[in-house]
Amino acid sequence: MTLALYVPRRSPVHRVPAGGKLLALAALAVLLFAVPTVPVAGGALVGVLTVGLLAARVPVATLARQARTVRWWLAGLFVFHALFTDVPTAALTVLRLLALVLAAAVVTATTRVTEMVAVIERLCAPLRVLGVRPARIGLVVSMALRFIPVLAERAERIREAQAARGGSARGIRGIRTTVTPLLVQLLQMAHTVSEALDARGADDVPPARGHRSPAGA
Amino acid sequence: MRFRRPEPRPEAVADPTRGFELRGVSHRYGDRPVLADVDLHLTEARIGVVGANGSGKSTLARLLNGLVVPTAGQVLVDGLDTRTAVREVRRRVGFVFQDPDAQIVHPTVAEDAAYGLENQGVPAAERAERVAEVLARYGLAGHADHPAHLLSGGQKQLLAIAGVLVMRPARVVFDEPTTLLDLVNARRVARVIDGLEQQVVVVTHQLDLLDGFDRVLVVDGGRVVEDAAPRPAIAAYRALMERR
Q: What is chain A's pLDDT, residue by residue, as a tens digit (217 residues)?
A: 445 578 888 899 999 999 999 999 999 999 999 999 999 999 999 999 999 999 999 999 989 988 998 999 999 999 999 999 999 999 999 999 999 999 999 998 999 887 888 898 899 899 888 888 888 888 888 888 888 888 888 888 888 777 777 666 666 777 777 888 888 888 888 888 888 888 888 776 544 433 343 333 3
Q: Do B107 and A4 touch (CB under 8 A)?
A: yes
Same domain, A155 and A65: no
HEC string for chain A: CCCCCCCCCCCHHHHCCHHHHHHHHHHHHHHHHHCCCHHHHHHHHHHHHHHHHHHCCCCHHHHHHHHHHCHHHHHHHHHHHHHHCCHHHHHHHHHHHHHHHHHHHHHHHCCCHHHHHHHHHHHHHHHHHHCCCHHHHHHHHHHHHHHHHHHHHHHHHHHHHHHHCCCCCCHHHHHHHHHHHHHHHHHHHHHHHHHHHHHCCHHHCCCCCCCCCCCCC
Which residues is B172 bridged to in the sheet? B94, B200
Same-domain check for residues A70 and A33: yes
**A103, part of any domain:** yes
Question: Does residue B15 sit within a domain?
Answer: no
Query: Does residue A166 sit in the same domain as residue A105?
Result: no
Nearest to A146 among B97, B107, B117 (CB): B107
Structural domain includes residue A117: no
The total number of structural domains in chain A stands at: 2
| A180 and A107 part of one domain | no
* CA A9 – CA A57 distance, rounded (Å): 7
How high is the ipTM of this complex? 0.72
Domain of B213, in residue numbers: 46-58+91-242
Task: Answer yes or no: do B87 and A203 touch at CB < 8 A.
Answer: yes
Residues B202-234: tens digit of each pLDDT: 999 999 999 999 999 999 999 999 999 999 999
- Degrees (nearest 5) of the Cα angle A23, A29, A32? 140
Same domain (yes/no): A19, A92? yes
Does some domain include residue A169?
A: yes
Any domain includes B7: no
Task: Give a yes or no: residue A34 inside a domain.
Answer: yes
Best A115, A116, A146 residue to mutate vs chain B (most B CBs within 10 Å): A146
By a Cβ cutoff of 8 Å, what residues of chain A touch chain B?
Answer: 1-4, 6, 8, 112-114, 139, 142-143, 145-146, 149-150, 153, 189, 192-193, 195-206, 209-216
The span from the first CA to the last CA of chain A, in angstroms, equals 27
Is B71 contained in some domain?
no
Distance CA B75, CA B171 (A): 15
User: Do the domain assignments include residue A62?
Assistant: yes
Q: Is residue A7 part of a domain?
A: no
Q: Examine the domain organization and report whether A78 and A141 are in the same domain.
A: no
For residue A84, give its domain range. 12-111
What is the reported pLDDT for A192? 87
